[in-house]
Amino acid sequence: MIIAVDIGNSNIVIGGIQDTEILFEARLCTDATKTSDEYAIDLKMLFEIHSISLANIEGSIISGYGRIESHWRSTAAHRQPACSGRILPPGGGHGSYKS
């Protein structure tokens, strides 16, 4: 499964995608005062609600900008180090990414 995250000014939209099927979609409020640990708790709760096992996550795609996006990168890197990921620039970008 791939976890897709779109970080906006008001909401963070998270989805789980397996092959061509969307397994779940959820929204969190964007909060610049939250720490990476607080976002990790939010993610853990979301995965539990949707019965998603971390062992099934193969990678991630994160689109966003600024402080909130850096919290998400930090959380993903420290909580799931074996998981590969792509960071897209605002607007989705085409062809270039950071891993």
Average pLDDT value for residue range 64-91:
55
Q: Would the pTM count as exceeding 0.85?
A: no
pLDDT for res 72: 59
Alpha-helix runs per DSSP H in 30-65: 36-49
Q: Please name the amino acid found at residue 37.
A: D
Residue 56's Cβ-side half-sphere holds a number of Cα atoms within 13 Å equal to: 13
Report pLDDT digits (tens) over 13-52.
Answer: 999 999 999 999 999 998 878 887 888 899 889 999 999 9
- The pLDDT mean for the chain works out to 76
Question: 36 by DSSP, 3-state: which?
Answer: helix
Cα gap 67→94, rounded to integer Å: 22
